[in-house]
Amino acid sequence: MINGQDIKDMDDNNVMWEYYSQSYSNKMSLNEYQSMASKTAIYSLQHQILYPALGLAGEAGEVANKVKKMIRDGKLDRSGIAAELGDVLWYVAALARDLNIDLQDLASQNLEKLYGRKERGTLGGNGDNR
């Protein structure tokens, strides 16, 4: 299992868990991101839900591929993984928009679910209804 020291050793800059965007430094809410990202969506209405769901699966695979290469090559490509995570975020925002779900609400509901599981001691295990 890779631990923090492994990642630190693989990182060219020897900086752990820090990532700073060079291009867009303004802080924004998740809903602001969702609104701004939606302006770059170019798929047709007939492909709502389907297009971003398939794109999300593809981009998640690209994140996994970058991590696989980290294992193979012993080198952390932080900016490459971050770029793929950004693409994952775009598809999550687009899919949520297509389902008429605010990204901020989605994030809040997810944290509520996770903290409920933590309080019940059911973070680990199987099934959605823990």
Superfamily of domain 28-120: MazG-like (1.10.287.1080)
> Can you give the residue ranges of every domain in the chain?
28-120
Give dist(CA 46, CA 49) in Å, integer: 9
**Which residues contact residue 80 at a Cβ distance below 8 angstroms, ignoring those fewer than 6 apart?**
66
Measured at the alpha carbon of residue 97, what is the angle toward residues 112 and 61, in degrees to the nearest 5? 80
**For position 19, what pLDDT does the model report?**
42
**For position 27, what pLDDT does the model report?**
86
**For position 127, what pLDDT does the model report?**
76
Give dist(CA 9, CA 55) in Å, integer: 32
Q: Cα-atom radius of gyration of the chain, to the nearest Å?
A: 17
Give per-10-residue mean pLDDT for the chain (130 aa): 52 45 71 96 96 98 97 95 98 98 97 94 82
**For position 9, what pLDDT does the model report?**
54
As given in the structure block, the two tokens for residue 111 are 């944290």
